[in-house]
Amino acid sequence: MYYVTQGIQTPIMKIVITGSIAFDYLMHFPGKFSEAFMADQLDKISLSFLVDTMKKHPGGTAPNIAYTMALLGSHPKVMATAGQDFKEYRASLEAVGVDTSAIVAIEDDFTASFFVSTDDEQNQIATFYTGAMAHAKTLTFAQYAPDAELTIISPNDPDAMRNHAEECRKLGIPFIYDSSQQTARLSGEDLAASLQGAAMLTLNDYEYNLIKEKTGFSDSDIREQVGGLLVTKGKEGALLWMDGEEYHIPVVPPKEVKEPTGVGDAFRAGLMRGMELGLPWPIAGRMGALAATYVLEHVGTQNHTFTPSEFVARYREHFDDEGALDILL
Ligand SMILES: Nc1ncnc2c1ncn2[C@@H]1O[C@H](COP(=O)(O)OP(=O)(O)OP(=O)(O)O)[C@@H](O)[C@H]1O
Ligand SMILES: [Mg+2]
């Protein structure tokens, strides 16, 4: 069995983020979907809903994580695939300091796109188009990021996630296995094989129970196979288990809650920035919690902004870092 538990808390220079790149198209239907369906004619549905608002948000787990890390002064490299409609998005990521040189544009396809219409009763009809994301399985660290010193394998095309984990084990690249929302889609076999030897496994509490159910692993089975574990629990905070120690990471109270999508990605970004700087686990974890709170206070996953000094000042309103965060200033 292969373990990568040592050495990831020394300052790391090259962080590589893998995961999906997507656009979210969010629409509102003024009315009730249920009134348009006829119970006796469900075998020939042909419906069109006239929506009155549409917002297009940049998203995808890889840019979400990279964006927040960049706000914290990092320059992570994203390794992922996008489509012909990615040009502007690439420029905006580069503008905040994300290294997009390993984002491969698939010219004859679109960036993965999530179309969701919500009606007046919060019912949703959604379609997710995989698009360029289906090509992510062709990317290799050997070709695009041979100098990676820490990577995260976040939700993406299932074959890409499997390939990335296998390659990391082969090349000895410490990796965070972040099956998160793809835990529902991946088979127990896939999950069991991919989490082997991960430096850390990251999930929310629902996904943590799901991975145990799908793999048949107990808590201790999982802890024997990974170097660390992050289980986030919404407003209850998070559990971080690293180097044999368990830490409870409290939440940072939000000023207002606008929309929770992307809080998990932001948590990972804050945590990884702390790792990159070699900060103690309780501090790195709290950086994750604070980054998540910023996302909670905004609609969309990349609409929050802060400077490193604003971030540190807000951190110090809630926690004592004993000066450790001066490194961000
Ligand atoms: N209501 C809240 N108040 C304060 N902090 C919160 C709240 N909800 C979430 N957080 C912070 O965000 C972290 C991640 O939350 P959660 O466990 O809900 O992630 P998630 O289910 O993966 O979310 P998503 O997949 O939508 O991004 C929590 O550990 C916590 O620090
Ligand atoms: Mg999540």
Q: What's the mean pLDDT in 258-274? A: 95
Which residues form the domain of 288? 15-21+60-111+131-319
- Tell me, yes or no, whether 126 lies in a domain: no
Give strand ranges (E) for the chain.
Answer: 15-18, 22-28, 53-59, 77-83, 103-106, 112-118, 124-129, 150-153, 175-177, 200-204, 228-232, 238-242, 245-249
111 Cβ closer than 6 Å to some ligand 1 atom: no
Q: Which amino acid is at 76?
A: P
Which pLDDT does position 1 carry in this prediction? 25
- Tell me, yes or no, whether 287 lies in a domain: yes
- What is the whole-number distance in angstroms between the Cα of residue 141 and the centre of ligand 2? 24
233 Cβ closer than 6 Å to some ligand 1 atom: yes
- Tell me, yes or no, whether 53 lies in a domain: no
Which pLDDT does position 39 carry in this prediction? 86
Q: What percent of the chain has pLDDT over 90?
A: 90
- Tell me, yes or no, whether 121 lies in a domain: no
- Tell me, yes or no, whether 64 lies in a domain: yes
292 Cβ closer than 6 Å to some ligand 1 atom: yes
- Tell me, yes or no, whether 141 lies in a domain: yes
CATH number at residue 151: 3.40.1190.20
Q: Give the pLDDT band of residue 11 (cuts 50, 70, 90).
A: low
Cα 19 to Cα 81, 94, 308, distances in angstroms: 9, 17, 25
Q: Give the pLDDT band of residue 115 (cuts 50, 70, 90).
A: very high
Pocket mutation for ligand 1, best pick of 232, 252, 259, 301 (most atoms within 8 Å of C-beta): 232
Catalytic residues: 265
What domain count does the chain have?
1
Task: Name the closest-CA residue to atom 21, ligand 1.
Answer: 204
pTM: 0.93
* Alpha carbons 121 and 304: distance in angstroms, whole number: 28
- What is the whole-number distance in angstroms between the Cα of residue 260 and the centre of ligand 1? 7
Give the tokens for residue 320.
Answer: 């004592």
* Alpha carbons 169 and 301: distance in angstroms, whole number: 30
Cα 81 to Cα 134, 160, 165, distances in angstroms: 8, 10, 17
- Tell me, yes or no, whether 278 lies in a domain: yes
- Tell me, yes or no, whether 295 lies in a domain: yes
Exposure string of 177-187, with b = 16+ CB inside 10 Å and e = fewer, is bbbbbbbeebe
**Residue-wise pLDDT tens digits, 31-65:** 999 999 988 888 888 999 999 999 999 999 999 99
Query: Near ion ligand 2, which residues have CB within 5 Å?
Result: 180, 264
Q: Give the pLDDT band of residue 160 (cuts 50, 70, 90).
A: very high
